[in-house]
Amino acid sequence: MAKVYLVGAGPGDPDLLTIKAARLIGQADVILYDRLVNPEIFALAKPGAELVYVGKEKGCAEEIQQRIFGELTLKALRGGVIVRLKGGDPMVFGRGGEEWAYLARLGVAVEVVPGISSAVAVPSLAAIPLTSRGVARSFAVVTGRDRDRFREDWNGFLGIDTLVILMGVADRQRIARALIDSGRPAHQPCAFIERGSTPRERVVVTTLGSIAEGAVEVESPAIWVCGDVVNLREDLLPQAPSPESHRSFTPSPRPAAIRMGSPYSEV
């Protein structure tokens, strides 16, 4: 029976892989990877490694998740070293816990290799500290996907100084309205960081009210930061590295892969 490693690929820049993640990618017989994994990382894979794209598609995430379980089962039965490669950290909104539980029920050995979470790293690289003395002493990382409990959920975050919202681009207007209704001021600064830590990074600074009015255009994937810490960017930006300086990895052609969908589609 194989061993499955749930590995975090970090926020996008290959230089931000952990040493252990890079080593396991180089040893893997099979790599099942998600949509937000930078393809340049596969330059580390050994010749002949099987690369299987298992990224989610909008509107069929649950169906694809079941197919991922099936792929994990088949690969585990074949044996070898299997890397389940996820963007950011596998246990932060990456369904790593669900996949671990599934494999545990099958009796498959699992090891987690934490990755640098985009929720923390991407704002930092964009010169937005999530906490700062006298400005913010708390932050919360929240998913924007729970559509059935918006009002209840956002009321519970009123006392949190900084909100980091993942997967909230598609519903940003609705979320912003709910945040204002829960008591956050419409003038509160916000920032969207698109494609963070990559050469294509773009930062959109705005206010919660503007988002609620539908006046802010953003592309997925993006990290949404809401809180007064966004204003600190103006003071830090002269010292902040450009997106290009985050990247020193040698590009490589995207290898042939067994695909279960189209990578980099919005979810």
What residue segments make up the domains of the chain, in order of their start? 3-117+248-259, 127-239
For residue 188, the SS3 value is coil
Range with the largest mean pLDDT of 59-63, 101-105, 143-147: 101-105
Burial class (CB in 10 A: 0-12, 13-18, 19+), 101: exposed
Burial class (CB in 10 A: 0-12, 13-18, 19+), 124: middle
pLDDT above 70 covers what percent of the chain? 85
State the chain's mean pLDDT as an integer.
Answer: 88
Pick the catalytic residue: 1, 15, 56, 161?
Answer: 56
CATH top-level class of 127-239: alpha beta
The whole-number pLDDT of residue 256 equals 43
The whole-number pLDDT of residue 265 equals 32
Mean pLDDT of 88-107: 95
Handedness of CA 151, 153, 158, 161 (dihedral sign): negative
For residue 165, the SS3 value is strand
Residue for token pair 């987690």: 112
Range in 6-10, 195-199, 248-252 the model is least confident about? 248-252
Is 56 designated active site? yes
Range in 21-25, 69-73, 117-121 the model is least confident about? 69-73
The whole-number pLDDT of residue 237 equals 87
**Does residue 247 carry a pLDDT above 70?**
no
The whole-number pLDDT of residue 250 equals 41
Is 1 designated active site? no
Contact between residue 225 and residue 135 where contact means Cβ atoms under 8 Å apart:
no
The whole-number pLDDT of residue 44 equals 97
Pick the catalytic residue: 13, 86, 89, 167?
Answer: 167
Which is more confidently placed, 215 or 244?
215
Pick the catalytic residue: 34, 75, 86, 89?
Answer: 34
Confidence bin at 148 (pLDDT 50/70/90): low
Is 86 designated active site? no
- The domain over range 3-117+248-259 is classified in CATH as 3.40.1010.10: yes
Q: Is the peptide bond before 243 cis (omega within 30 degrees of 0)?
A: no
**Does residue 219 carry a pLDDT above 50?**
yes
Distance between alpha carbon 75 and the CA centroid of its chain, in Å?
25
Confidence bin at 17 (pLDDT 50/70/90): very high
